[in-house]
Structure 1
Amino acid sequence: MSPGQIAALIAAGAFVLLVLLLAIPLVKLGRALDEATIAIRKAHENSTPLFVEANTTLNHVNTQLERVDGITANARAVTGNVSALTSLFTATLGGPLVKAAALSYGVSKALRARRAKKGGDADAGRRSRRARGGRK
């Protein structure tokens, strides 16, 4: 055996050792890819019931939203009716009630002032003049 043949045997042995060392991570990578494939397949199989449930939930939500739309439309109608009723009440009874209250206040004030003059109550007369803005 010549030194060149020995060197070739050493090189061949090193090459075999290198191939074996590289084969181990490649085998492990293959197993990991197989597991990933299985996991993806299971996720795909289990996604169908999930999508069915999500679709059912969305249908229920849409039903509830339609009900809420009806409720808000009714509330809008009620507020419009209340607004119209309030403006009608203010127009028909508000003005006359204010005038009647002002008249009754004026009459009671005049009667108090008249009683104060009749009764000779000097203090009542002064109080009446002070309220009107007269002299003390």
Structure 2
Amino acid sequence: MGVGEIAGLIAAIAFAILAGFLIYPLIRLGKLFDQLAETVKQTGDHAIPALDESVTTVKQVNKSLEDVNKISSAASTTANNVGALTDLYGSFLGKPVIKVASTVYALKSTAQSFMSKRVMQQPNRGE
């Protein structure tokens, strides 16, 4: 055996020892990657139903908002109709009622004035 063969043998033994020391961390790293892959798979399995539920929730909220919009629209229309009706009654009944009330007040004031003048013009009969 020559020096080159002994050096080669030492190098082969050193490489075998180095490979033996590296096998354990590589096996652990492989298990870590397996666990990581399983965790990603489980996360995906749980995320998809959560996303489906959130889509359903958003659809229900949108439907509720559509109902609220319909109610708001109806309330706005009702408020506009009540305002228009109030204006109509105000113009239809308000002016004539005010005219009738002022006429009645004028007649009442005239009658009171006339009656008070008549009472003052009558002579006292008891004297």
**TM-score, normalised on structure 2?**
0.56
AA of the residue aligned to 2:25: A
Q: Name the CA distance, whole Å, in 2 between partners of 1:101 and 1:88.
A: 20
Query: Are 2:25 and 1:25 aligned?
Result: no
- Structure 2 residue corresponding to 1:69, chosen from 77, 87, 112: 87
AA of the residue aligned to 1:37: V
Identity in percent: 10
Q: 1:107 — aligned with what?
A: 124
Q: 2:30 — aligned with what?
A: 12
Segments of structure 2 that go 5 or more residues without pairing to the other structure are 1-18
AA of the residue aligned to 2:23: Q
Offset of 1:95 from its aligned partner?
Answer: 1.3
Q: Name the CA distance, whole Å, in 2 between partners of 1:16 and 1:42.
A: 40
Q: Name the CA distance, whole Å, in 1 between partners of 2:73 and 2:61.
A: 18
Segments of structure 1 that go 5 or more residues without pairing to the other structure are 115-136
Offset of 1:77 from its aligned partner?
Answer: 0.9
Offset of 1:100 from its aligned partner?
Answer: 2.7
AA of the residue aligned to 2:116: V
Larger RCO: 1 or 2 (CA < 8 Å, sep 6+): 1
RMSD (Å) for aligned C-alpha atoms: 3.6
Q: Following superposition of structure 1 onto structure 2, how do residues 1-136 of structure 1 map, counting pairs within 5 Å?
A: 2-41=20-59, 44=62, 55=73, 58-59=76-77, 61-102=79-120, 107=124, 111=126, 114=127
How many residue pairs match? The answer is 109
